[in-house]
Amino acid sequence: MKTLFIYYSYTGNGDLVAERFREKGAEIRKVTPKKPLPKSFLLGMLTGGFLAAIKHKDPLFEWDSSLEGYDLVIVGSPVWNGRISSPINSVLEALKGKELSFVLYAGGGAAPKAVERLGKEFPSSKIVVLKEPKKYPEEMEKLQVFFD
Ligand SMILES: Cc1cc2nc3c(=O)[nH]c(=O)nc-3n(C[C@H](O)[C@H](O)[C@H](O)COP(=O)(O)O)c2cc1C
């Protein structure tokens, strides 16, 4: 089973998820927006929340969007303002129509709006939402659905 995890992380929770996938033998691709969020916490929250709300697609540094040869492709995104993060909007645009599964990481551990959108755009996808895995490492057990 060849698995690919494509993800974005702003504050490191996604990196922890990526590490778990790597341990399980998956290949990892991290995307990086050309324009990072402002360093100030408040400005970062406001900017990221706004960009997510308008479904902005952040321009990304070059990344490999080929999925050939993978049995399972999982996309990872932090939840911003209840939604998919703006860097991952660009990934979803590039991978439209592909069979994808998702891992979302959220401060509150739930993201109904984001899950609803993904369910519509990627109807057969498996979606797992983790609550702040850096703080609650036991949340990572939910990733087991991808390895069963
Ligand atoms: C701009 C911004 C907006 C956020 N909005 C939400 C939110 O609406 N709901 C939530 O549960 N967590 C929210 N969070 C918290 C992150 O989703 C959470 O910390 C996540 O684990 C971050 O992943 P990362 O460390 O890989 O970037 C937000 C964080 C940022 C930076």
pLDDT digits (tens, 9 = 90+) for 32-53: 999 999 999 999 999 999 999 9
Residue that has been written with the tokens 């995104």 in this structure: 77
Q: How many CB atoms lie within 10 A of CB 34?
A: 9
pLDDT at 12: 97
Residue 22 pLDDT: 98
Both structure tokens of 14: 């996604």
36 pocket-lining for ligand 1 (C-beta < 6 Å): no
Distance 85 CA to ligand 1 centre (A): 9
Q: How far apart are CA 148 and CA 108, in angstroms?
A: 26
Residue 16 CB less than 6 A away from ligand 1 = no
Predicted local confidence at residue 60, as pLDDT: 98
Domain boundaries of the chain, sorted by first residue:
3-146
List, in order, residues 6 or more apart from 2 with CB less than 8 Å away: 27, 69, 70, 71, 72
Percent of the chain with pLDDT over 70: 100
Alpha helix positions (H), 24-140: 41-53, 86-94, 112-121
Residues 64 and 4: beta-carbon distance below 8 Å: no
CA–centroid distance, residue 128 to ligand 1 (Å): 15
Question: Does the C-beta of 77 come closer than 6 Å to ligand 1?
Answer: no
Name the pTM for this structure.
0.98
How far is the centre of ligand 1, averaged over its atoms, from the C-alpha of 138 (Å)? 18
Of ligand 1's listed atoms, the one at least distance from the Cα of 47 is 1
Q: What is the pLDDT of residues 126-144, one digit of tens each?
A: 999 999 999 999 999 999 9
Whether 124 shows a pLDDT value over 90: the answer reads no
Per-residue model confidence as pLDDT tens digits over 69-121: 999 999 999 999 999 999 999 999 999 999 999 999 999 989 999 999 999 99
Q: What percentage of residues in the chain have a pLDDT greater than 90?
A: 96
How long a stretch of residues is the chain? 148
Ligand 1 atom 31: the closest Cα is on which residue?
45
CATH tag for 3-146 (out of 3.40.50.920, 3.40.50.300, 3.40.50.360, 3.10.290.10) = 3.40.50.360
- The mean per-residue pLDDT over the stretch 8-33 comes to 97
Greatest Cα pair distance, the chain, in angstroms, is 42
